[in-house]
Structures are given as C-alpha cells and as structure tokens.
Structure 1
C-alpha cells in the first residue's frame, strides 16, 4: 500500500494505493472524466502522468481501449522494419525490442486509475460488482478508500471468470481452475508428453512435482497411478490454487503440498519439473512462469536432481526450446549443465507447438515460434 495525491479546486486529496503486482503508486496525478478525449489522455500518460477517473465506468473502459490503439499506432511508427535474415542474433534483437514495447505499453495503460470504497465497491457510475474477484486477487479489502489501476482491475475480473469456469484439460479429462497470478495450462503439448513418457522401471511410489502452479502435473501423475506425490511451490497463490484443484479432483489425499523454493526433503523415484522456458527477469507473477532469471530454477533442478533420486529413479525435465531459437540459451549450454550435474539423458520425447501464434506469420518472432519444440528429457544419474 502507498498513497496517491492530487489537487483540484477543492484542495489536496489523497487515496491509498493498491496493486496486486506491487507496482509503486503514481506520483503525478491528474483528473479525467467523460469529457476527456483519448488524445488528451494519451499525451498525459505518455509524459509520465497518471489519470484518476471520475466519470462513468464503461466510458473509462472505452477510453482504455482507445489508449491501447494509440499505443499500438505509436509503436508501429517507431518500429524499425523487420529484417529477413532469420538469424538468431536478429531474433534476439526483435525479442528484446518486442518485450520492451510490451512493458512500456503495460506501464502507460496501467496509469488510468479508478477510485474504490472499502469492500471493493468501485466508486463510479454503472460500475459492476467486483467484490468477489478483488477478494480473490487482493485479499481482505482496505478499510479506507483507495485507488487501483483499471487495467489491473480488468485482469482481476478476467482471472475470476477463468477461475469460475475453469479450463478443460484433455489429458486429465477434467477442468483445472487457475487462480489470479497463477499460470494457466493453456498449452496442452507438455501435458501430453507427461502422459506418454514411460514411468521409471522401479516401482514409482513417490514423485516430486517442483513448481506445481495449478497442480495440473501432480494431478496427472496421480492419474497415472503414482502412489504419492509431494508438490512444491514458493508462491502462496500457487499453493492455494493447487489445493483448490486437487480437492475438486478428489486427489488431495494423494498429493501433499509443501512451500519450498524447489526440492522437498528426501528422495523419490520420479522428480518432474517444468521450469520457465526463457532466461530473463520476471516483471509479474504470471511472468515468473515464463521467465527464469539466469535460468536459476532450471539449473537448481538439474544440480539437485541426483541427490533427490532413489536408485533407479528418473528426473523429467519438461522444457520448450524457444530460448534456443531466440538466441537466449544454446542446446550445448543445456547439455553442458546436464553433464555438470552428474546426469545423463536416457530418453527424450518432443512435440511441436499447437498454439495459434506458431502459425501466425505476422508475428515478428514467427520463425522462432514455428521452429519451437517442447521436450520431455528423461534424466538419470551417471
């Protein structure tokens, strides 16, 4: 929580600031209402200001959409023509440029603010009831009036809708219900790989699922007949989400959840890890499922695997090779890390992506996405 402050004809005003992503409170605050044009709002936001909305809720949503279109037009004007070489160095450059543009867009659009009353009542005309969605994302309401980003609020509402209806997982034959800030298993290729890989030759009485997230991999292991599973995560949101899903599936008696940075204590016949697939700094909880600073989780899994396997056990690394096609990490580097951890590759399954972006030729990173493969590496100690 922080404080935002602004001035008008009535004097100086302040509100508490709430952000699920720990974004700092904006410092330069102006006012906007139904008379504010998108061009005027864009000028203020692009110069580092923020706008506290005082008009109709639906008009605020329309303004946010109009601002998004202006951001896209501005980015298109300033973007250098994409070169056709297709080399990894070029793709690396494009990737960093695209990611920077997305971050700048998020920062600018995140500066349109809405006022709220205690109990998560949006203090605007025609505002919807968002109390349940906000309670899921933020926890108990502040006791004083506060402000939050409209863009973030819309994300909170969308996450609540996903949580309510769930996501059908064909490999599981059931729905997974992602919580706010927990990465949803939208791409199913890696889930299919886990169901196809042969279990270790030794009886698989215990498995570890590292970085469980929604709990979907732990649920799939239970469906495959693994007797007991310990699923870990360092995110309280993820642990709560996994608990919810396992209870819905009637598998909470088979899976024990544990707060841990990576490994639980002890050894298992099978250790499964699906780490973030791109090295880089995460800027949000959802980003942390995609970006792994210095490949910390990947290397931690590899370095600790041999010590956490029982004799005859296996480690399953589920990892996209998109980083290789973007020039962010080489295959040789990954294989060197595997060898340095005292491990050997005893099998490998891979699958091509099936998500729409892999077929979108207009995507600046199309060459990398079309070449991407997700693999399940079966690893064992040397």
Structure 2
C-alpha cells in the first residue's frame, strides 16, 4: 500500500480521493506556525541539555508533521497517551515549556496534570502506555462517552510484547482507540528493515485493526487521515492503526551518536523531505504567507526559546528523600540506610 500524500516534497498539492481535506491558507499557516514553534523548543531543550541544565533530552526533530497533523485532528476532550518524544503534540495541547522540561531536569516525575490537558504523562518504558490506553478506551466504551483515545508510539516499541498484546486486546474488545505509530526508521541503532519482515500497517491488520499508512512528513495528509479515522472510530468502527512514515533527524537521545550507525546520504535524503520546508514551499507558491507573517513567527520562536531558557533554570528543586517513605508500609533498616546514603550524596554537592 502506498502512503497517503496530499503535499509532495516540492510543495505541490496532490488531492487524494479517499482522504479529502479543505486546504485553506489559514489551516496551512497554523500548521506551519505550530511546527516552527515545536522545532524551536526542541532545539532549545537540546542546547540546554548540552549546557548541563537537563539530564537528558529526546528530540522530535523531523517528526513535527506527524505530531501536529494528528493531535490537531482530535477533539480537545479526546485523551492522548504519549510515549516520550511527543513534544510538538504536547505544545499543541497547551502544555507549557516549564511543564515539559521539569521531568528532564530531574525535578519531578512529570510536570503537568494529565486530566487538565487530556494528555497523559510521558512513558519512558517502551510500549508500556499502550495497554494503559487500551484499558482507558475500554472505560470510555463502557461509559458510552463520545471520545476517542489516541496512543503514540514508535516502530521500535511495536516489537515489544506490550504493544502486540494491546493490539489484540483492543481489537478483541472493539474499543475506540487509535494507535498512531511514528515510524521514524530507527529503534535506537536498529533499522526497521532488521526489526521486522512485514510493514507495520500490514501487521496491524493481522490483529484485526483498521490500518492505514501515511506520509508522516506531510502534515496535511496526516491531518486528513487522522481526522477520517477518528470519525470512523466515533461511529463505532474502531479500533484503528495509522503508520506515519517519518524520520528521526537527531539521535535517539542526547546519549546517542547516530553517526555511528547511519550514513550521511540517508540523512540528506530525509532532510530533503523536511516537513516544515515542504509546507513553507506551499505557502510561498500560493502566496498564502507574506513577510509580516514570517517575521511574526520568527519572533514567536525567539520568545519561546527565551522562555524555555528562563523557566528551565528557575525550576524549583524537589526533595526526593520522601520517596523512601512511600516504598513500604512499614519502614525497614535497609530503606533507612539508603535514605541516609542519599542525603549524604546530596550534601556532598556544592551550592
């Protein structure tokens, strides 16, 4: 199956008969702005990590279209289960830079209220969020709510047992759940071609899921397909699976050196398909964005970067010694000793 595409790499519109979308100047400008802001924030967080302000960072560089196009196709009341790289989707839901950064600074397990944003906390254990999403969708189904659950994960996570169990469970229970796989071609240093012998969307059909594949660097196609699939789910035709073919431009995380396992030519070929550049070419060709618009977006990006730097350094430290009080119902000598060792370790640092 060929991936659905509405916008080619040259910025030309290619309407799709099965996935209609009212492509307006306003819609395209909105998507462009959201992707630009997401990339700016992502790059700023990467820099903060290199400066020692964050313990770790996992970039979403190159995957902005897959996230912006999909999350904006959902209702604000639809619940989202992310993995750990969905920064663009989180920003679209209104989560602030401080709320996004605090976990990676090591100050707290998570920085936001999931119920407020209808966006669950990040899950760093591969595919662990998928059974949770399935169970949540079963609750939605039993409540009779007009709600769709969206679960993000990557191609690497699809090889986990949790993922395959969730696919089967969701299909058997017929729940309103949309599995959204960002196939960024690499599970850390393992390429897709050695992970599996069948495309992900084909495997999904084997579980009984309504499966689709889309050009994940085409924000218009992602939005159109996600909107259509969500509508089917709301009509009781779920669950479903979307494979968005995209690419992880950066390393798996700031602890990874992708130059050790992939070639410059591969990277260059995907940079040519960059989702932001592709949409900008459409805006320029159609005359849908003038100089004032681009200046405004540039200024928003600079402001967001400055905000991220400021709030990151101002994040309050948490007292993690309390974790030893909640492990066991009754304190033990072992826990007391570990607590003492932790406090001695913390005291060893200079202010």
Same fold by TM-score, threshold 0.5 exceeded?
no
The higher relative CO (CA closer than 8 Å, separation ≥ 6) is in 2
**Structure 2-normalised TM-score?**
0.35
Q: Name the structure where helix makes up a greater proportion of residues.
A: 2
Structure of larger gyration radius: 1
